[in-house]
C-alpha cells in the first residue's frame, strides 16, 4: 500500500515513460526478428539455387515434382528419386518464352501465384523501414527535449553501495598509526552495539562525524573499520555522485540515501569527498552552483530530520574543511571532527608492520630504518612502498623481501625510478657529483641540520640527475629559526659548490632554489621570523569568511601596500643571499673534503652518510697533522 501511495504522486508522463520505451524497444525488436525470419526462410528452406541452364535441363528431364511461379521467381521441390527433400529457388528470365510451356508440360504440380510486385518489393519494405526510423527518431528526440521527464526515475536512484558485514571485514586492528582517532571513534562503535547504554543517562550521540585529513591518511579505512567493529551495514557514496546536470536530482538522491539508511538501521552512511557537495553556498545560485546548493540544502534538512536513536550514523570525509559550509559544521549536524594527520615515526612503523604481514618479509628486514626514511609519507604511500618492495624482490627472484628492496622502493616513491639507461657525459657527472657533495658537506658541518642517509648521482624520475636523501632521527613539529636557516644554507650549498669548482653555475639547483625560496617566504610572511618586519603575518591572501561570498578573491590579490611588498621581497632576498654566502665560505674552507667526497661519489655513484663522515674525519686528521709539521 505504501508503494501505491508514493506512485500516485508521480505524474503520468513520468510513470508511463518506461512503458513507452518498452513498447518502442519491443516493436523494433519484433521488426528485426521478422526480417531475420524472412532471410532464414529464403536461405534455409530454399537451399538449392541452380543455374538457369541446369534448371532448364532438370525441367525437361522431369526431375521437378512441384513448383510455384511468383513473378519471375520460381520456388519448388525435386522428385525424391533425384534429390530427396531438396527445395530450390531460381530466377526465370522474361525473354525466354519456351520456359513457361516446359513448366506446364513437365511439372506435375505447377501453379502461378499472382501478387502485386510493386507492393511486395517496394511499398512494404519502405513502410517497415520508415516505421522503424520514425520510432528511433521519436525516442531520441523525446529524450533530448524532455530529459527530466524520461530520466528522472533512473537518475533519482542514488549510487550508494550497500556492503554487508561479510564484505566489510575491516576492523580497528587494520587501522594502524591513528590511535588518537580510534579513541574518539570507539564511542560510535559502542553506541551502535548498545544504544540503550547512552540513552539511559540522557546522552545523545553525534549525528555526524567529519573525518578531516590529507589524502591517504585512512579516512575511508576508518569508516569501514567502524562498521566492521559494530557489525552493521555500511553505505559508501561519493559527494560527486550527487551532482548531475539535471536540476533537482542531487537533492532527490540525498533523500533516497537517508531513506535507505533508515530502512537498514542500525547502519553507517559514509559520504566521501563531501566538499564536492558541501562547499559554501554563494549568493548567485545559477546553473551548477544552484544545483549544488539545492543538494546541500537537502542534506542539511535530512540531517536535522533524523535522530541518532534510529541508529543511523553519518560519517563524512574531506581534506578541505576550510571550504565547507558553516551550516554543516554546527552542532546538531557534524557534531564531531576527527583530525587525521600524517603518521609520526611510531605510526609509520606500525603501518609498515601492518602491511608487511601481507608479504614474505625477511627476518633481517629493518622496518625502523624505513620508517625513519619516510617522514611525510601517508598511510597509502607506505602501503604502496611495501607493495613496490615486494614487486622488486620478485623481479630479482628473491625468496623474501629485504631491507635494500624496501629502501629502493622508498627512493622510487620519493624520486622516481632509476634511469640507468640515461647516458650522462663526464662533465654532467662531475657537476652532479660536486653539487651533491656540497649538500652533504654542508649538512655534516652546519649546526642543527637534518641528518641525511646517502647521496647519489644516479638519474631518477624526469629531471633528477642526483639527490641527497634526508633521514631525520625523530619527527620534529617545532622548527627553530636557526635550524631553518641552516637548512636553507645546505640547500644553497649545491650551487655554491658548482661555482667554487667550475667557476660557473648550472640548472641543477632549480629544485633547491625553489624550496629555499618557499622556506624563506614562510619565515618572513607566516612565521614572523624576520628581524626587520617583526612577528606579523603577511600572507598574500588571508583566509576570508567562506559562507555566502559574492565573489572569491583573485589569486593575485594582495592585502598589503606595494611598499610593504617590496620590503618583503627585499628581506627574502637578503636571507637567501646571506645563506648562499655562508655556504660558499664553508665549502671554500673545506675544499679538500669537498673534493674527496666528490671523487668517491664519481667512483661509486651512491655514498652512505657513514662513509662521508669517515672522509671528513680522515681529512680533518690529515689537516691537523700537516699543521703540526
- Give DSSP secondary structure letters for 364-413: T--HHHHHHHTTT--HHHHHHHHHHHHHHHHHTT-SSB-HHHHHHHHHHH
Q: Angle at which helices 591-604 and 481-502 pack, to 10 degrees?
A: 80
Rounded-to-integer distance, Cα 281 and Cα 279, Å: 6
> C-alpha cell of 494?
649545491
Count of CB atoms within 10 A of residue 492's CB?
25
Strand ranges of the sheet holding 452-456, from the earlier edge strand across to the other edge:
467-470, 452-456, 606-608
CA proximity to 460, closest of 391, 409, 505: 409
Asked if residue 404 lies in contact with residue 475, where contact means CB atoms within 8 angstroms, the answer is: no
Residue 436 annotated as catalytic? yes
Rounded-to-integer distance, Cα 350 and Cα 347, Å: 5
Asked if residue 457 lies in contact with residue 432, where contact means CB atoms within 8 angstroms, the answer is: yes
User: 337: which strand partners?
Assistant: 210
3-state secondary structure of 23: helix
Asked if residue 109 lies in contact with residue 66, where contact means CB atoms within 8 angstroms, the answer is: yes
Active-site residue identified among 58, 273, 436, 609: 436
CA 116 to chain centre: 65
Task: Find cell 500500500 and name the residue.
Answer: 1
- Give DSSP secondary structure letters for 408-441: HHHHHHHH--B-TTSPPPHHHHHHHHHHHHHHHH
Rounded-to-integer distance, Cα 541 and Cα 526, Å: 11
Strands 161-163 and 87-91, how do they pair? Answer: unpaired
SS3 content of the chain, % helix, strand, coil (to 5): 55, 10, 30
Rounded-to-integer distance, Cα 161 and Cα 159, Å: 6
- Dihedral pair phi/psi, residue 208, rounded to 5°: -140, 150
CA 540 to chain centre: 31
CA 102 to chain centre: 79
- Residues known to be catalytic: 436
Amino acid at each position: 500500500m505504501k508503494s501505491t501511495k508514493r506512485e500516485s504522486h508521480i505524474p503520468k508522463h513520468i510513470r508511463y515513460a518506461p512503458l513507452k520505451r518498452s513498447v518502442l524497444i519491443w516493436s523494433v525488436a519484433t521488426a528485426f526478428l521478422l526480417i531475420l525470419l524472412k532471410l532464414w526462410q529464403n536461405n534455409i528452406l530454399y537451399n538449392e539455387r541452380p543455374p538457369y541452364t541446369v534448371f532448364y535441363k532438370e525441367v525437361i528431364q522431369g526431375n521437378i515434382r512441384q513448383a510455384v511461379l511468383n513473378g519471375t521467381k520460381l520456388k519448388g521441390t525435386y522428385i525424391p528419386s533425384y534429390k530427396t527433400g531438396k527445395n530450390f529457388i531460381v530466377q526465370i528470365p522474361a525473354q525466354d518464352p519456351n520456359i513457361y510451356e516446359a513448366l506446364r508440360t513437365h511439372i506435375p504440380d505447377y501453379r502461378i501465384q499472382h501478387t502485386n510486385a510493386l507492393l511486395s518489393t517496394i511499398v512494404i519494405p519502405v513502410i517497415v523501414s520508415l516505421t522503424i526510423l520514425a520510432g528511433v527518431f521519436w525516442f531520441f528526440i523525446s529524450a533530448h527535449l524532455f530529459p527530466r521527464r524520461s530520466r528522472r526515475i533512473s537518475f533519482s536512484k542514488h549510487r550508494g553501495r550497500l556492503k554487508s558485514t561479510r564484505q566489510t571485514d575491516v576492523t580497528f586492528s587494520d587501522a594502524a598509526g591513528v590511535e588518537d582517532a580510534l579513541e574518539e571513534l570507539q564511542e560510535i562503535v559502542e553506541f551502535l552495539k548498545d544504544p540503550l547504554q547512552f540513552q539511559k543517562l540522557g546522552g545523545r550521540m553525534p549525528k555526524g562525524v567529519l573525518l578531516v585529513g590529507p589524502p591517504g591518511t585512512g579516512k575511508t579505512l576508518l569508516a569501514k573499520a567502524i562498521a566492521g567493529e559494530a557489525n552493521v551495514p555500511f553505505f559508501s557514496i561519493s559527494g560527486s555522485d550527487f551532482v548531475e546536470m539535471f536540476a533537482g536530482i542531487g537533492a532527490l538522491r540525498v533523500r533516497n540515501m537517508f531513506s535507505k539508511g533508515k530502512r537498514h538501521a542500525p547502519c553507517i552512511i559514509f559520504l566521501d569527498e563531501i566538499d564536492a557537495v558541501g562547499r559554501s553556498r554563494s549568493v548567485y545560485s545559477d546553473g551548477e552552483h544552484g544545483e549544488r546548493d539545492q543538494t546541500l540544502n537537502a542534506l542539511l534538512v535530512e540531517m536535522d530530520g533524523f535522530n541518532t536513536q534510529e541508529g543511523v550514523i553519518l560519517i563524512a570525509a574531506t581534506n578541505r574543511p576550510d571550504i565547507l559550509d558553516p551550516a554543516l559544521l554546527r552542532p546538531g549536524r557534524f557534531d564531531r571532527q576527527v583530525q587525521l594527520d600524517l603518521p609520526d615515526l611510531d605510526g609509520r612503523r606500525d603501518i609498515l608492520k601492518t602491511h608487511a604481514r601481507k608479504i614474505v618479509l625477511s627476518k633481517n628486514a629493518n622496518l625502523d630504518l624505513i620508517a625513519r626514511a619516510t617522514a611525510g609519507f601517508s598511510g597509502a604511500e607506505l602501503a604502496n612502498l611495501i607493495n613496490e618492495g615486494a614487486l622488486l624482490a620478485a623481479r630479482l627472484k628473491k625468496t623474501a623481501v629485504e631491507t635494500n628492496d624496501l629502501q629502493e622502493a622508498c627512493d622510487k616513491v620519493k624520486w622516481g625510478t632509476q634511469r640507468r639507461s640515461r647516458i650522462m657525459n663526464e662533465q654532467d657527472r662531475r657537476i652532479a657529483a660536486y653539487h651533491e657533495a656540497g649538500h652533504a658537506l654542508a649538512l655534516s658541518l652546519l649546526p642543527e641540520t637534518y641528518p641525511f642517509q646517502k647521496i647519489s648521482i644516479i638519474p631518477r624520475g624526469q629531471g633528477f640527475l642526483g639527490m641527497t636523501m634526508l633521514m631525520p632521527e625523530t619527527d620534529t613539529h617545532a622548527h627553530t629559526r636557526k635550524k631553518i636557516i641552516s637548512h636553507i644554507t645546505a640547500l644553497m650549498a649545491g650551487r655554491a659548490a658548482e661555482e667554487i669548482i667550475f667557476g660557473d653555475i648550472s640548472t641543477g639547483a632549480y629544485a633547491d632554489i625553489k624550496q629555499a625560496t618557499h622556506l624563506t617566504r614562510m619565515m618572513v610572511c607566516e612565521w614572523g621570523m624576520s628581524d626587520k618586519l617583526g612577528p606579523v603575518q603577511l600572507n598574500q591572501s588571508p583566509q576570508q569568511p567562506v559562507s555566502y561570498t559574492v565573489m572569491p578573491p583573485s589569486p593575485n590579490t594582495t592585502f598589503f601596500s606595494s611598499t610593504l611588498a617590496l620590503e618583503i621581497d627585499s628581506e627574502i632576498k637578503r636571507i637567501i643571499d646571506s645563506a648562499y654566502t655562508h655556504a660558499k665560505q664553508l665549502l671554500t674552507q673545506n675544499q679538500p673534503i669537498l673534493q674527496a667526497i666528490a671523487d668517491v661519489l664519481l667512483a661509486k655513484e651512491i655514498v652512505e652518510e657513514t662513509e662521508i663522515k669517515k672522509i671528513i674525519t680522515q681529512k680533518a686528521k690529515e689537516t691537523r697533522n700537516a699543521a703540526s709539521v
